[in-house]
Amino acid sequence: MRTGAPHSGQVSTAGSVNDWTTSNWCLVSGLVQAYWYVGTVLGSSVGANRAGTRTRRLPIMRHRGCAVHETPLTVPVVASPWLTDQQQRTWRLWLSVSELLPRTLDAQLQRDAGLTHAAYVVLAMLSEAPGRRLRMSELARTSNQSQSRLSHTVARLEERGWVRRERAAEDGRGNVCVLLEDGWDVVRSVAPGHVAAVRQALFDVLTDEQAAALHGALAAVLDGLDPDATLRMR
């Protein structure tokens, strides 16, 4: 059966033209039904308010021997995918806080030391590590940065003489980032102002009960995102 129009120059018999018309009408009919089916499924999924199934019958389309099946179609009805009003309000509050809080902390660090928050976290993680040094892979994990972003951050800190990268002494494989004395001085001078900014922006506006509830909620979310506890800051 042909599925395309006869090429120019070909002699088309009545039978071949009829076959071509019938074939393409079947194709169009099938596409119409497929479109109808997708629209039905999507409409049922979005507009449903209860679980269950809904049986719909496709319209019959016939043309010159091409019959579209009249088999009943069972379309699943699923629960609404949208957030509830309360969930939507909570989600948008979280989006706003996750944008504004780092911006506030960045502003304090830029003002006091010309540092980004990401760079300060790197210095802080190194200051807490044994010997004030960490493998780059471990530093990326503890500072919640990708390897490429961390490399960029460390390069800028190296330019300021606050850290140094060197080969790992244990096995000679991989690089270690070391916090230098000037970098340690920066951490000690900047930390008090940073702690005050965190307290003012986050904890001063919460009661003790709210702070405890926030801790529990964030811990639950983090457990879902990082179940094996390999990605979170220590």
- Domains for the chain: give ranges and CATH numbers: 14-77 (no CATH), 85-203 (1.10.10.10)
State the pTM of this model. 0.63
Complete edge-to-edge strand list for the sheet that includes strand 175-179: 133-135, 175-179, 163-167
- Torsion region of 64: left, alpha or beta (phi above 0 gives left; psi -120 to 50 gives alpha): left
Tell me, what's the pLDDT at 19? Answer: 46
* Cα 232 to Cα 234: distance, rounded to the nearest angstrom: 6
Tell me, what's the pLDDT at 134? Answer: 95
Tell me, what's the pLDDT at 77? Answer: 57
Rg value, the chain, Cα:
32
Tell me, what's the pLDDT at 170? Answer: 75
pLDDT in tens, the chain (234 residues): 444 444 444 444 344 434 444 444 444 444 434 444 434 444 444 444 444 444 444 444 444 444 445 555 565 656 678 999 999 999 999 999 999 999 999 999 999 999 999 999 999 999 999 999 999 999 999 998 999 999 999 999 999 999 999 998 877 678 999 999 999 999 999 999 999 999 999 999 999 999 999 999 999 999 999 999 888 887
Tell me, what's the pLDDT at 12? Answer: 40
Tokens of 166: 């060197």
**Any idea which residue has 């008090």 for tokens?**
192
Residue 119 β-bridge partners: none
Tell me, what's the pLDDT at 71? Answer: 53
Whole-number Cα distances in Å, 102 to 98, 120, 180, 213 = 7, 12, 26, 21
DSSP 105-155: HHHHHHHHHS--HHHHHHHHHHHHSGGGEEEHHHHHHHTT--HHHHHHHHH
